[in-house]
Structures are given as structure tokens and as C-alpha cells.
């Protein structure tokens, strides 16, 4: 009697990788094929499943970890709501940071196997409460927009604090993720805390009429900590083409990524900008960040598989004397279930360089901030509302 289940699993521990983005990766994987479709596969193809996990790791899992980790790091950096870096007395506000990237789908090719169109996406959302203080004002020297005679050296320093801990459901961020891809569902929780100190290398300058103000040139450095726990599901209604030795067919189903991240970042950047007619401030800058921490990933894809023995592939892969012994002939289609389960762990990128830019709208005491950051293929946007005193 033929077996109706072929299950192969392998445990790889202590694998040591060196590289810019991923270092110290461990992986556990399992590939399971059940049903009549899997009985079509010849013995050599079934044997190859034993080493398929390595191909999936190097060609897919590592790349997905890279995508998601880059996204988490940039959202961690872009949470301070600093804008142009000017604080007269103190400010309080609330914002939300979204980061994401969707790279090209990945094809995994290994000996007689081909998995095409596997998704490679990453997303991160971090709400935050913010407070900012001018150090000169805080220590009793008055606001920083006083005349030059009333200022002291401490007015060049601003302190920024942010933090938030939040559990959310999918509906809370539905609109944000739909802007990337309406097939993505995201749920989880986030905790974020941070401190930033900015020093004006070149003080800000105003014409005194509110028509033009130069924001000066400021240098900032701080420490940000972010912990995330996300579940991302990619509900792709379309099936992907799959080749397993002499069998061709389709593979459908949902892809689930369970992601946990605890990252500490030490960013340092330079910013400048200008304000016109008091209302509109435009700012820009660039920086880099040292990052520490770890991310873990559990990737699962499970769904129906439909296979047909293709005559040309049979002739290429199987000796003639064995072709007559193949079950199912060369024309019938059989169905089954193919499941892949991968678990990975990786350190955060050591460094990440970025550019920053945005606008701030000033309406009396209210400041509306839109601040964007970009690093290679990942982008992050912070939307915030602040009250300035």
C-alpha cells in the first residue's frame, strides 16, 4: 500500500552567518505534502524534500527577514516627531509612525523544485506620545525666541521624549495597510520609548516679522527602543505555479508571518529648514543609526496543491523502464495539500543610513507634522499633532 503522507523535517542549529543585514541566523523548517498529488512524485523528488529547507532559507526566509527587520528599524527611528528641531518653551503631541516596503515576489528554484511568486513584504506601525523641552527655558532662562541679549548657551539645546504601549486589532490599521496592498492583514502590539537631544550648531534666525525664519542647523543624537509583535497574513486568492520534478501544477492558500522584534537604535542626524509667513515650515536632513536587537520570524504557507505529470518532464527526469510504474499516468490531475513551516531568527542591521524630510503647518499653538524617512527600499511616514507653548 502506498503511503498517503510524506513528511520531512530537519533542524539546523548554530548556523553562523556574516553580512551587513543578517548575522547569526537559526532556522527550523518543515515541508509536508499530503494527498494523492504527492503520490505522483517519484522517489528522487521526495528525497530532495529533505534538503529543500536550506534552499527556502537562503532564497526566501533570509530575504523576508531582511525586509521586515529594515522596516522595524526605520519605524523605530522615525518616532520622535522632531520636525525642524525648534522648541521655544515646550511641546506635547501625539503621532503615529507607519513604515513598509513590498519588494518583488521571490522565486525559489532548487533542483527539481520551483516555487514562484512567493510574497516579500514588511510593515510596521507605531503610535507615540511626545513631549519636547527647550533646555534654556526648562532651567529658568525664558523662551528661546527671546532677543539675543536674553538668551544663553543652553537655549541651543532641545530635549525630545516619546513613548507608547498599545495593543491593537486589525481594524485599527486597516486603512494604512490597504494603501500598500489590500490583500495584507496585520495585527499585533507595539511598545516604543525614546529620548533625543538636539543641539543647534547654527542658531535659528528670524526677520522678526514672521515672513521668513531660518531653522538653523541642528545635530541630534539619542536612544530609541521599540518592541513589536505582529501577525501578517497575505491572503492571495490567486494560485502560484509550482514544479515538483516531473509534476507541474498550482499552489494556493494563505501566507502567515508571525514576527517579534526588540530593537534599540542610537540615531544621529543633521537637520535644517525654513519657515515662511509663520504658517509653513519645510525641513530636511540626513543621518545614520547604530542598531542592536533581535527579530524572530515564523513563516507558514499552507494550501491546496494540484499536480499533473507532464509528459515532457517525465521523459527528461525518469528512466523509460520506470515511467510505466508511475501512478496516475501522465495526463490525470491529482490534488493534495502542501504546507511549509519556517522559523528564523536574526539580529538587527548594525547600521542604517537614512534621509528625512517633511512639512510642519503652524496654526496658532497647533503644529501639524508630516515627517518622512527613507532608506534604500523602505519608507516611513510620521503623522503628528502638537501643541506648542
pLDDT in tens, 187-242: 788 888 999 999 999 998 888 787 899 999 999 999 999 888 878 788 777 788 88
Widest CA span in the chain: 98
Given a cut of 60, is residue 18 above it in pLDDT?
no
Tell me what the pLDDT averaged over the chain comes to: 80
pLDDT, tens digit (0-9, with 9 covering 90-100), for 239-288: 888 877 778 889 888 888 787 889 999 999 999 999 998 899 999 999 99
How high is the pLDDT of residue 14? 22
Q: Which of 215, 301, 252, 223 minimizes the C-alpha distance to 29?
A: 301
Cα distance between residue 9 and residue 52, in whole Å: 10
**Which of the residue ranges 38-47, 197-206, 301-310 would you say has the lowest mean pLDDT?**
38-47
Burial, 39: exposed, middle or buried (Cβ in 10 Å; 0-12, 13-18, 19+)? Answer: buried
Q: How far apart are CA 10 and CA 13, in angstroms?
A: 10
Compare 28 and 45 and report the one with higher pLDDT: 45
Cell of 205: 534666525
Q: What is the pLDDT of residue 45?
A: 77
* CB 48 within 8 Å of CB 317: no
27 vs 57: CA distance, rounded Å: 7
pLDDT tens-digit map of 59-110: 887 788 778 788 888 988 998 899 999 999 999 999 999 998 888 888 888 8
Contact by Cβ (8 Å): 381, 371: yes
Using DSSP bridges, classify how beta strands 113-118 and 106-110 pair: parallel, antiparallel or unpaired: antiparallel
Q: Is the pLDDT of residue 4 over 60?
A: no
Helix (H), strand (E), coil (C) string for the chain:
CCCCEEEEEEEECCCCCCCCCCCCCEEEEEEEEEEHHHHCCCHHHHHHHHHHHHHHHHHHHHHHHHHHHHHHHHHHHCCCCCCCCCCCCEEEEEEEEEEEEECCCEEEEECCEEEEEECCEEEEEEEEEEEEEEHHHHCCCCCCCCCHHHCCHHHHEEEEEEEEEEEECHHHHHHHHHHHCCCEEEEEEEEEEEEEEEEEEECCEECCCCCEEEEEEEEEEEEEEEEEEEEEEECCCCCEEEEECCEEEEECCEEEEEEEEEEEEEEEEEEEEEEECCCEEEEEEEEEEEEEEEEEEEEEEEEEEEEEECHHHHHHHCCHHHHCCCCCCCCCEEEEEEEEEEEEEEECCCEEEEEEEEEEEEECCEEEEEEEEEECCEEEEEEEEEEEC
User: Does residue 156 surpass a pLDDT of 70?
Assistant: yes
Give residue 3's pLDDT band: very low, low, confident or very high (50, 70, 90). very low
Amino acid at each position: 500500500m502506498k503511503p498517503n503522507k510524506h513528511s520531512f523535517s530537519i533542524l539546523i542549529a548554530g548556523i553562523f552567518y556574516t553580512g551587513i543585514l543578517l548575522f547569526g541566523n537559526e532556522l527550523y523548517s518543515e515541508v509536508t505534502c499530503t494527498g494523492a498529488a504527492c503520490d505522483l512524485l517519484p522517489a528522487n523528488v521526495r528525497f530532495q524534500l529533505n534538503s529543500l529547507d536550506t534552499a527556502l532559507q537562503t532564497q526566501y526566509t533570509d530575504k523576508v527577514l531582511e525586509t521586515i527587520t529594515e522596516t522595524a528599524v526605520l519605524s523605530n527611528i522615525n518616532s520622535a516627531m522632531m520636525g525642524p528641531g525648534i522648541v521655544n518653551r515646550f511641546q506635547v503631541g501625539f503621532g503615529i509612525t507607519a513604515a513598509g516596503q513590498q519588494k518583488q515576489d521571490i522565486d525559489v528554484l532548487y533542483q527539481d523544485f520551483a516555487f514562484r511568486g512567493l510574497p516579500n513584504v514588511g510593515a510596521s506601525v507605531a503610535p507615540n506620545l511626545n513631549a519636547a523641552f527647550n533646555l534654556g527655558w526648562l532651567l529658568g532662562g525664558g523662551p528661546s525666541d527671546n532677543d539675543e541679549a536674553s538668551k544663553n548657551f543652553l537655549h541651543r539645546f532641545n530635549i525630545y521624549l516619546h513613548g507608547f504601549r498599545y495593543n491593537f486589532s486589525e481594524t485599527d490599521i486597516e486603512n494604512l495597510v490597504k494603501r500598500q496592498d489590500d490583500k495584507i492583514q496585520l495585527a499585533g502590539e507595539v511598545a516604543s520609548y525614546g529620548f533625543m537631544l538636539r543641539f543647534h550648531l547654527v542658531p535659528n534666525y528670524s526677520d522678526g516679522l514672521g515672513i521668513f525664519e531660518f531653522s538653523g542647523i541642528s545635530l541630534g543624537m539619542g536612544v530609541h527602543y521599540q518592541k513589536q509583535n505582529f501577525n501578517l497574513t497575505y491572503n492571495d486568492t490567486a494560485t502560484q505555479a509550482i514544479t515538483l520534478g516531473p509534476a507541474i501544477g498550482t499552489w494556493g492558500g494563505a501566507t502567515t508571518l508571525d514576527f517579534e522584534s526588540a530593537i534599540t537604535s542610537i540615531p544621529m542626524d543633521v537637520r535644517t529648514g525654513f519657515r515662511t509667513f509663520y504658517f509653513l515650515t519645510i525641513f530636511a536632513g540626513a543621518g545614520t543609526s547604530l542598531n542592536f536587537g533581535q527579530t524572530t520570524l515564523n513563516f507558514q504557507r499552507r494550501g491546496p496543491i494540484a499536480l499533473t505529470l507532464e509528459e515532457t518532464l517525465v521523459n527528461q527526469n525518469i528512466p523509460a523502464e520506470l515511467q510505466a510504474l508511475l501512478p496516475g499516468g501522465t495526463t490525470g490531475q491529482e490534488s493534495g495539500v502542501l504546507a511549509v513551516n519556517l522559523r528564523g531568527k536574526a539580529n538587527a542591521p548594525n547600521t542604517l543610513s537614512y534621509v528625512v524630510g517633511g512639512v510642519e503647518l503652524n496654526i496658532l499653538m497647533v503644529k501639524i507634522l508630516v515627517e518622512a524617512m527613507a532608506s534604500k527600499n523602505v519608507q516611513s511616514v510620521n503623522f503628528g499633532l502638537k501643541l506648542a507653548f
